[in-house]
Structure 1
Amino acid sequence: MTDRYAVFGHPIGHSKSPRIHALFATQTGQNLSYTAHDVPAENFDHALDAFFASGGKGINCTVPLKELAHGRADILSERAERAKAVNTLAVDEDGRLYGDNTDGVGLLRDLTVNLGLALQNRRILLLGAGGASRGILQPLLAEQPERLFVANRTVEKAIQLAGEFDDLGPVTGVGFDALSGRQFDLILNATAASLSGDLPPLPAGVLAPGGVCYDLAYGNQPTAFVRWGQEHGAARSVDGLGMLVEQAAEAFYLWRKLRPETGPVIALLDRERSLAA
């Protein structure tokens, strides 16, 4: 019997998740299928109920469904509770929906294990105050940075988001104009702007010498923010492909109680997109 999993999102055609989970299943000898479903927000409840009623074992949720998935979970992990967003749902032994958020741990593994970055006592700038930022603030602050700034075009959103997490560490919400004269060791782009070729209005000199740029988005071509980092002297300027694989591995572990090796999968996907580009 093949266990069925899926990713829900809108749009979803670009998703690499089915490929990633197929590679995980082959690597670990698991009999499962994983498919992508285009599910607009207004269809989420019906699609979710239908998938689990037909025997589905678990789903991932991406834009724009993570907050809706949070509302449907019967039980939440502590990190999903904090993030107010769920990207992984599983059915427990009693038929209840368990909701987790694996984005933050996926990002942290890519930053600290794959890229070898130490975040303690570092100055971190997080661009954007939406759902993507919400999912990664808790694990970033757990690394004990010297200071974490959340910058957003709508300053009030940045201040509100920082206020929800300031019990965990030194986090401040600001507008982009408040960044002038400051420098950061790590700049994380959690906006979707760079995929459309747009960039947040970053002042000159905001990236410290030897600093790193990281775009949570990913593509076959370098995103606008990855290019910005390269042009402004970043020691490393990378996109979120590694985070995508690492958060998927955490979901796979939640479902199958097996942790796949992520390094070979990241390397393979990187080669494939180089060929596609």
Structure 2
Amino acid sequence: MTDRYAVFGHPIAHSKSPLIHAAFARQTGQDMTYEAILAPLDGFAASVAAFAAAGGRGANVTVPFKEQAYQLADRLTPRAQRAGAVNTLKFEAGGTLGDNTDGAGLVADLTRNLKRTLAGKRILLLGAGGAARGAIEPLLDQNPAALVVANRTVSRAEELAALFGRGVVASGFDGLDTPFDLVVNATAASLAGELPPLSPALFTADTLAYDMMYGRDTPFLDFARRHGAATADGLGMLVEQAAEAFLLWRGMRPDTAPVIASLRAA
């Protein structure tokens, strides 16, 4: 019998996840389907329960349901626990397992696809919401020289610094005026076509500016490029986090490079 998987979100029509997982299934010879499901804003838990009851084996979860998915899971992986958000569910006999593959996907894209070494580097993470929170621990595990979390509301960045420890520094946007090796935009500004209030001094020719958003050139990437930085969007992260979810579900990690290349070409 064909195994069923899905991604839940609101909105969801734009999701590339069905294309990605179909490519992974072909590549690895797995008998599975993967669909996009629009969950009502007040009906996420019921939608997931109905899918699982109908034989669903696992699901991805996107905006705005990652915190709800965290509450929904019966068990959490250590990385989901620390991220405080879940983007991958696995329905098991003993209950629902919640995982967070976002941070691992980001680091895989940076190190494997973009060939960036993060050890000993100065990293600036913009934002203090779920996307930033999921990225902190995997970035720390790369042993950077510094990890600064900057947010418009400084108290939220301070909460994350206190939560993770390990030398994480909190800052407001206005306190930043020295260059970084990597600047990751995990704010919602790009969704709104806006730019966080950043100093040009953050960027040099040695800086990589990385926006978790994909599918369009954002004001953040444009600003960084105009101030000499190299830039990358979040498409590679999207595919790499999907590969991590696929590994959790199917026990094998697909080759991401051809999938990223085909999405870029499209």
TM range (shorter): over 0.9
CA shift, 1:222, in A, is: 1.5
CA shift, 1:208, in A, is: 3.4
After superposition, residues 230-245 of structure 1 pair within 5 angstroms as 230-234=225-229, 236-245=230-239
2:192 alignment counterpart: 196
Which of 204, 221, 225 lines up with 1:208 in the alignment? 204
1:275 alignment counterpart: none
CA shift, 1:42, in A, is: 1.2
The answer to whether residue 167 in structure 2 is matched with residue 170 in structure 1 is: yes
Equivalent position SS for 1:205: helix
CA contact (8 A) 2:7 2:62 kept: yes
CA shift, 1:112, in A, is: 0.6
The answer to whether residue 212 in structure 2 is matched with residue 222 in structure 1 is: no
CA contact (8 A) 1:146 1:170 kept: no
State the alpha-carbon separation in 2 of the partners of residues 40 and 216 from structure 1: 25
Equivalent position SS for 1:233: coil
State the alpha-carbon separation in 2 of the partners of residues 88 and 22 from structure 1: 17
CA shift, 1:209, in A, is: 3.5
After superposition, residues 113-124 of structure 1 pair within 5 angstroms as 113-124=112-123
Identity of aligned residues (%): 57
1:257 alignment counterpart: 251
After superposition, residues 55-74 of structure 1 pair within 5 angstroms as 55-74=55-74
CA shift, 1:38, in A, is: 1.2
Q: Which runs of 5+ in 2 are unaligned?
A: none
State the alpha-carbon separation in 2 of the partners of residues 6 and 13 from structure 1: 13
After superposition, residues 1-277 of structure 1 pair within 5 angstroms as 1-92=1-92, 94-166=93-165, 169-180=166-177, 182-219=178-215, 221-234=216-229, 236-272=230-266
CA shift, 1:2, in A, is: 1.2
CA contact (8 A) 2:87 2:100 kept: yes
State the alpha-carbon separation in 2 of the partners of residues 233 and 208 from structure 1: 5
Q: TM-score, normalised by structure 2?
A: 0.97
State the alpha-carbon separation in 1 of the partners of residues 191 and 85 from structure 2: 22
State the alpha-carbon separation in 2 of the partners of residues 134 and 165 from structure 1: 9
Alignment size in residue pairs: 266
Between 131-140 and 40-49, report the one with greater CA deviation. 40-49
RMSD: 1.0
CA shift, 1:41, in A, is: 3.5
State the alpha-carbon separation in 2 of the partners of residues 195 and 239 from structure 1: 13
Q: Which runs of 5+ in 1 are unaligned?
A: 273-277
CA shift, 1:197, in A, is: 1.7
- Which deviations, in whole Å up to 9, do the C-alpha atoms of 1:229-253 show, x marking residues without a partner? 211111x201000000000001011
AA partner of residue 247 (structure 1): Q
CA shift, 1:149, in A, is: 0.8
AA partner of residue 14 (structure 2): H
CA shift, 1:163, in A, is: 1.0
State the alpha-carbon separation in 2 of the partners of residues 141 and 271 from structure 1: 33
- Which deviations, in whole Å up to 9, do the C-alpha atoms of 1:56-96 show, x marking residues without a partner? 0000001111111111111110000100111000022x241
State the alpha-carbon separation in 2 of the partners of residues 100 and 263 from structure 1: 23
CA shift, 1:225, in A, is: 1.6
AA partner of residue 23 (structure 1): A
CA contact (8 A) 2:124 2:147 kept: yes
Question: Structure 1 residue runs of 4+, over 6 Å off?
Answer: none
